[in-house]
């Protein structure tokens, strides 16, 4: 078939058409969409092209394909939400600023050393204060195993998010980031730094970055001023572009 006048690919058109039918309600959750052979005839295109279109829909989570049976319309998975650290932290017009409070080398046994699997050796800790405009919004404490010959450089201090920081500092490739979101009350040191009141509650975001062999490469703990910092997440990004 020669449909080259339109710049958009045929398989994309097909995917859009079916997506439209799903969203308009013509095709409901659980329905069977036409078979690949039927779609070939309907669009006058080759089967590989049909499959390319269907794979788009499958990626977006709109259909689910079962060998020997067909492709079924699925209901969108709204209980999987994505947190994007880049956008989540940068809400509002003002950009974030970072103030380095200190870098320390810790020896001996303590919770973070054990969690990093280096109870016997040294741990580097970096403390930063995060501002939005003129207001302090969060305190960040990072813990990394000390690596010989891998000094922390000045320009490594300026990275916005923790995963990026670990990627620059570590030799092993970081492959996973686990996050725990909880709540605590600000300590005396913390509420002073954040220019908050004594005993104010705070959002606590803990991240642990792992290498491919599940060794922790770094820990970050962010203590956030409750009125100046929110985490957001949405189910939409999973649907990708379509």
Partner DNA sequence: CAGTGGTCTAGACCACCTG
Partner DNA sequence: AGGTGGTCTAGACCACTGA
Residues at the contact surface with a copy of itself, assessed by CB under 8 A = 23, 25, 29, 48, 55, 59, 75-76, 78-86, 161, 163-164, 166-167, 173-185, 201-203, 209, 212, 226, 230-237, 239
| Residue 1, contacted partner among a copy of itself, DNA, none, CB below 5-8 A by kind | DNA
**In this complex, which beta carbon is closest to a copy of itself, that of residue 127 or of residue 226?**
226
Give min distance, CB of 172 to a copy of itself, in A. 9
Q: Which of residues 38-57 bind DNA (CB under 7 A)?
A: 38, 44-49, 51-52
Length of the chain: 242
Structure tokens at 179: 């996050």
Among candidate residues 146, 149, 148, the one with its CA nearest the CA of residue 217: 146
**In this complex, which beta carbon is closest to a copy of itself, that of residue 39 or of residue 62?**
62
Spatial contact of 96 and 131, defined as CB atoms under 8 Å apart? yes
Cα 180 to chain center, whole Å?
A: 13
H/E segment holding residue 106? strand 96-106
Give min distance, CB of 40 to a copy of itself, in A. 16
Is the four-CA dihedral 95, 99, 103, 106 of positive or negative sign? Answer: negative
Structure tokens at 39: 């779609």
Q: Which of residues 176-215 bind DNA (CB under 7 A)?
A: none
Region of 30 please: left (phi>0), alpha (psi -120 to 50) or beta: left
| Residue 232, contacted partner among a copy of itself, DNA, none, CB below 5-8 A by kind | a copy of itself
| Residue 168, contacted partner among a copy of itself, DNA, none, CB below 5-8 A by kind | none
Structure tokens at 12: 């994309």
C-alpha to C-alpha distance for 175 and 6, rounded to whole angstroms? 41
| Contact flag: residue 65 with DNA (CB under 7 A) | yes
Binding site for DNA (CB under 7 A): 1, 3-4, 9-12, 35-38, 44-49, 51-52, 65-71
């Amino acid at each position: 078939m020669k449909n080259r006048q339109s710049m958009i690919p045929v398989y994309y058109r097909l995917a859009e058409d079916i997506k439209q039918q799903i969203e308009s309600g013509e095709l409901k959750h659980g329905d069977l969409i036409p078979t690949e052979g039927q779609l070939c005839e309907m669009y006058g295109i080759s089967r590989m092209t049909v499959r390319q279109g269907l794979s788009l829909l499958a990626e977006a989570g709109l259909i689910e394909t079962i060998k020997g049976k067909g492709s079924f319309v699925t209901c969108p998975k709204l209980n999987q939400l994505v947190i994007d650290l880049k956008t989540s932290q940068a809400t509002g017009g003002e950009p974030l600023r970072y103030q380095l409070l200190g870098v320390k080398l810790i020896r001996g046994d303590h919770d973070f050393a054990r969690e990093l699997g280096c109870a016997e050796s040294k741990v580097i800790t970096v403390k930063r204060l995060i501002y939005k405009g003129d207001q302090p919004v969060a305190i960040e404490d990072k813990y990394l195993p000390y690596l010989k010959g891998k000094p922390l450089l000045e320009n490594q201090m300026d990275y916005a998010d923790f995963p990026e920081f670990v990627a620059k500092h570590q030799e092993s490739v970081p492959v996973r980031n686990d996050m725990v979101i909880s709540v605590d009350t600000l300590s005396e040191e913390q509420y002073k730094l954040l220019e908050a009141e004594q005993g104010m509650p705070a959002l606590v975001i803990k991240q642990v970055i792992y290498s491919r062999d599940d060794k922790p490469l770094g820990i970050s703990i962010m203590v956030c001023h409750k009125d100046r910092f929110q985490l957001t997440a949405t189910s939409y990004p999973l649907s990708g572009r379509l």
